[in-house]
Amino acid sequence: MSEKTALPVGQEAIQEKGWWKAHRFLILRRLTQAFFLGLFLLGPWFGIWWVKGNLAGSMTFDILPLTDPFVLLQGIVGQHWPEMTAIIGALIVGVAYALIGGRVYCSWVCPINPVTDAAHWLHDKLGLAKGWQPKRNTRFWVLGMVFVVSALTGTIAWEFVNPISMLHRGLIFGMGFAWTFVLAVFLFDLVVSRRGWCGHLCPVGAFYGLLGQGSLLRVSAVNRAECDDCMDCFAVCPEMHVITPALRGADEDTPIILSPDCTNCGRCVDVCAPDVFKFTTRFDTTPAPARASRRNKQRQPEASRAA
């Protein structure tokens, strides 16, 4: 391992690109999260009713309906055919995320993301073991389970426990004991399973991942030839397995991160000192020669260990 990895994650990027460029997307992301939450809070806190409702369903300027397609789909599976307003709202949301990346919801909008990010930050600080790591596809099992329960009980099943709605609705309409769910997710990520909730279990993430399977907006490791194996991108990425195929691919492999698990958070873009990553579209065909090390297969063991 090179000396560079001894530096704290992202340190090199700060030195080379400056603090702002090394935190750009992180800051933008936090601002966006605050912005979306703030829109909903304008009404109850300041009486400015631009946006009414919550993430499950909302009405903006009394004209634009938005509905969470995952919630609506559970209702349909539970045998309620919704009114047109909800369907239009779900279509708008669905198409938007299908274009910009389904899991953009996770990293740019979801109010649980700051919670699990905080848990991960503390987890790192305390140097805890990564703990139980369920299989990557566990969340799809959970997703299937949610639909089955919705169908069997004729309810929107996930909404009985969904920590996202608990927190979001709690902040806007009154919390009750909903904070216990949020705390549970935090503790789960902290002591039971590193990046466990968003990365392995949450069916909402799984749903949006599937939705954004073919999304246009993608991160690409175009400059992968420049990669100096500092491993910082793997350290910050909430779904680190998505990086490997793009970054460590051969010449003929696409440098674009095509996995629907990628949340388009852009943290890898931030943290990479040689600017290997950038946002682009899935149709970007800029040639991206593989890393020199990839050609002689020297670093392969390290790669699989990291993944």
Partner 1 sequence: MSAANKRKPKPLDRRRFLQDAARAAGACAVAGMALSKLATDARALPAQAIRPPGALPEEDFLAACIRCGLCVRDCPYDTLKLAELGIEGPATGTPYFTARDIPCEMCDDIPCVVACPTGALDHGLTNIDDADMGLAVLIDEERCLNALGLRCDVCYRVCPVIDKAITLERRHNERSGAHAIFMPIVHSDHCTGCGKCEKSCVLPGESAIKVLPRRLATAEAAEHYKLGWEDRNPMVDELIDLPDRLPGPGTDNLAAPGGYLPEGLPDPSMEGGFSPSFGLPGAGGSGQ
Question: Considering the rule CB under 8 A, would residue 25 count as an interface residue with partner 1?
Answer: no
Residue 73 vs 217, nearer CB to partner 1: 73
238 binds ligand SF4 (CB under 6 A): yes
**What is the number of residues in the chain?**
307
Site residues (CB under 6 A) for ligand SF4, limited to 11-70: 57
Site string for partner 1, 64-103 (x = CB under 8 A): -x-xx--xx-xx--xxxxxx-xx--x--------------
Considering the rule CB under 8 A, would residue 8 count as an interface residue with partner 1?
A: no
193 binds, among partner 1, ligand SF4, none (CB under 5 to 8 A by kind): none
Rounded to whole angstroms, how far apart are CA atoms 185 and 175?
16
Nearest distance from C-beta of residue 176 to partner 1, angstroms: 3
Which residue in 150, 162, 223, 263 binds ligand SF4 (CB under 6 A)? Answer: 263
Picked from ligand SF4, partner 1, none, the partner binding residue 93 (CB below 5 to 8 A depending on kind) is none
Using rule CB under 8 A, residue 52 touches partner 1: yes
Tell me the per-residue interface mask from 205 to 234 with ligand SF4, x by CB under 6 A, - otherwise. Answer: --------------x---------------
262 binds ligand SF4 (CB under 6 A): yes
In the complex, which residues of this chain contact partner 1 (CB under 8 A)?
A: 43, 49, 52-54, 56-59, 65, 67-68, 71-72, 74-75, 78-83, 85-86, 89, 135-138, 141-142, 144-146, 148-150, 152-161, 165-166, 169-170, 172-178, 180-181, 241, 244, 304, 307
In the complex, which residues of this chain contact ligand SF4 (CB under 6 A)?
A: 57, 219, 236-239, 242-243, 257, 262-268
